[in-house]
Chains A and B, each alone.
Chain A
Amino acid sequence: MTRTSPAPAVLTDVNAGATTGRTRIRALGEWAGDASVIIAVTTVVLFLIACLVVPEFATADNLRALLLSIALVGIAAVGMSVITIVGRLFSLSVSATVAVSTIIFAGALGLGPWFALVIAVAFGAVAGAVQGVLAGRLKADPIVTTIAGAAVMIGIAQIFSEGRTVAGAGDASVFAINIAGVLPMQVLIFLLVTGVAWWIHRFTVLGRKITLVGLNERAAEVSGLRSWPLVIVAFVASGALAGLAGALLASESGQGNLQLGATFGFDAITAVVVGGISVKGGMGNPLNAAVGAFLVGLLSNALVLVGLTYETQLIVKGVLVLFAIIITGVASQAKNGARR
């Protein structure tokens, strides 16, 4: 099979150019067909529409309030997304971790706000690690494991707090300051957490391994990759970030109780799903969860400013979640079809 007549140089270049063009177009098509990209574009479009149409939306005060309203749920959602990406669905113990962390933060506040924050994050990490061992090493069902984990955490916290509000003995106002007079500390932390999580997922071996396990755990194990340590890492990340969200939540009023952050778990799941992360694992990244949290917060804020009733707001939000699930499903099927 020797090459008898080499193609003219010009023709070769043209063919190469056409191939590159087709590849680019195909890549662009795949990119545009990605659920998370559709959600991100939708978010930007809705944001622009709100800026133009909704009165009082595009004011500095409102945008700051909007960012603050999503910052803590966003932090919890970024953590939750790692569990989803590694293929372990969701953690149903996020709300419990947040609630217990508010108590731990308030209890330790007398020793300094930063120390209290570290203790709360450490608690979340340990709680996540225990559940990660069960869900990863022992292959326990993640939903059942986290439900049980939540029950144990709440039960122990009830024994120690007797169900009462714990008032902090120190000053936590350091977490309420505005950086450069503009950017609230909570929002900065949310952006940092999102950025670091996205970077780890996108550019490190650890991130690639987590994605691979989420995509096809059996294939990953056959190729010599142990999945359970990565599952533990995902649960530790989720727990630590839930602890961080709880600490920042408690810092707002300097108090903690078991009812604080009760909706964080559901809100974080909503953000993950709306952000376009596949619940089957392996598809999406933590940035998508942050975008999902922003989209939900954006809609909540804009719908109130438009003056819609509570019932209508619920309907619109429900339709949004359905829209996101359909988009994710269609995109996933299209991708699988293209692979075949």
Chain B
Amino acid sequence: MTISRRKPAVAFMALALTVGLAITGCSSSSTTPRASGSSDVTGMKVTLLTVSQSCAYCATHTDELKADAQKAGVDLTVVVNEFDAGVQAQQVNQVISTKPDAVILWAADATAILPSLARLKSAKIPVVLTNTHPQTDDTSLWTAYTGPDDTDYGRKAGEAMVTALKAKGQTSGSVVVVTGVPGTPGAINRLKGFTETLEKDAPQVTIAGTQNADWDQTKGTTAAAALLTLYGKDDLVGIYAEADNMLAGAIVAADRAGYKPGDLTMVGSNCSIEGYTNIESGAQQASVLLSPYDDASLAWQATLKVLQGDDVANETFIPPVVITNLNLADCAAAVDK
């Protein structure tokens, strides 16, 4: 009885001790002063707030940054949130308390990240955003953004679709689009760029319908199957999926619906391993290269400039490259082939 009565008191004391240690002990971590114009970044602390280690692209992106940091002698801490914007917001608060010299941040959500960016700015911690552009025009919230311009990636995919159709002598017809998570900048902007290009370069080719598949291969199969049921009997000439893994699902659906490779023009994006394999086999006609190595490399270059106190461009975009079976080798490095 005595022990059980004392339990709350013991628990309270343990909590108080923990909080006390957290306040006094943990606050002893010091910030290394940035040497303006100095090229020596050894020992500086950088935190990478990234989204996942379960997706191939994300894992490669992280590994590349780790290798770059090790080479430069920078102490890189990796924090993962598994695409959870709420968790990322908490992680940002923790990172602010550790006062790193810079933060490399891959936003789990392009809108939800905005308050966290404001907090980082208030704490005067330089932020290099990578891969996902926040959904705001206020570019003062970050020091540098490096990554894709999704509208441009959509445009390039549109160009690839038009080129492939013209090569088959098809100047009219309809295409369907399998998109990512509805409402996210990547999904919206890639579709926007793709639509703009079709309207400009092939006005006789129309978009019959779109269906979201949330960047998921299995959902890509289901979404494409529904689109093929709806529009397959019309003048359907192609499918555009905003990511190669979703297109891999769409290719499965087309195969099940009786289409043979080449019957429909298949264009994806990112040139991930799924796209590489399908282009190699002839099931897919084109993709738009987004290499995790290029993505990470640009982010690291910007981070180095920040650490060295040099000027850095507020926005640097990865130039999109259309990949077909003619230049598939250009994609090989991105998929570790």
Residues of A near any B CB (own CB < 8 A): 56, 59, 61-62, 64-65, 68-69, 72, 99, 154, 158, 162-165, 167, 176, 184, 249, 252-255, 257-264, 300-301, 304-305, 310
Contact = CB atoms under 8 A, between A and B. Distances in A.
A300 B225 CA distance: 12
Interface in B216-275: 216-219, 221-223, 225-226, 228-230, 232, 245, 248-249, 252-253, 255-258, 272-274
B182 interface: yes
B59 A65 contact: no
B53 A263 contact: no
Contacts of A68: 221, 225, 256
Main secondary structure of the interface of A (DSSP, over half): helix
Contacts of B228: 61, 65
Given A56-B230, A61-B257, A259 B225 contact: no
B274 A253 contact: yes
Nearest to A155: B53
Contact of A304 (B55, B211, B214): B211
A164 B336 contact: yes
A300 B59 CA distance: 33
A261 B216 CA distance: 8
Contact of A61 (B56, B214, B229, B336): B229
B273 A65 contact: no
B56 A257 contact: yes
Contact of B55 (A56, A69, A257): A257
Interface in B46-64: 52-56, 58-60, 63
B274 A69 contact: no
Contact of A163 (B58, B212, B218): B58
A308 B201 CA distance: 30
B230 A304 contact: yes
A256 B188 CA distance: 28
Contacts of B256: 64-65, 68, 184
Contacts of B218: 72, 249, 260-261, 263-264
B116 interface: no
A56 B219 CA distance: 20
B308 interface: no
A162 B59 contact: yes
A65 B257 contact: yes
Question: Taking each of B52, B63, B228, B273, which has the highest tally of chain A beta carbons within 10 Å of its own beta carbon?
Answer: B273
Contact of B229 (A62, A72, A254): A62
Nearest to A154: B54
Contact of B54 (A163, A255, A300): A163
Contacts of B98: none
B28 to A, nearest CB: 31
Contacts of B219: 263
B277 interface: yes
A97 to B, nearest CB: 14
A255 B63 contact: no
Contacts of A72: 218
A165 B273 contact: yes
Contacts of A165: 56, 272-274
Contacts of B58: 163
A215 B245 CA distance: 43
A232 B72 CA distance: 51
Nearest to A65: B225
A259 B216 contact: yes
A184 B252 CA distance: 13
A177 to B, nearest CB: 11
Nearest to A73: B218
Contacts of A99: 54
Interface residues of B, number: 40
B230 A255 contact: no
A92 to B, nearest CB: 14
B295 to A, nearest CB: 15
A247 to B, nearest CB: 14
Interface string B28-58: 0000000000000000000000001111101
Interface in B104-119: none
Closest 6 CB pairs of A and B: A163-B59, A258-B54, A65-B225, A304-B226, A165-B273, A164-B56
Contacts of A69: 221-222, 225
A310 B212 contact: yes
A124 B225 CA distance: 29
Nearest to B337: A167
Contacts of B258: 61
Nearest to A300: B222
Contacts of A163: 52-56, 58-60
A65 B255 CA distance: 11
Nearest to B54: A258
Contacts of B222: 69, 300
Given A61-B229, A263-B219, 4 more contacts: A162-B63, A260-B217, A263-B216, A304-B226
Contact of B273 (A158, A167, A184): A167
Contacts of A264: 218
A61 B254 CA distance: 11
B55 A255 contact: no
Given A263-B219, A305-B230, A255 B225 contact: no
Given A65-B229, A165-B56, A305-B230, A253 B217 contact: yes
Contact of A158 (B59, B216, B223): B59
Interface string B205-218: 00000011010111
A259 B273 contact: no
A166 B212 CA distance: 25
B12 to A, nearest CB: 25
Contacts of A255: 248, 273-274, 277
A165 B272 CA distance: 9
A249 B176 CA distance: 24
A67 to B, nearest CB: 10
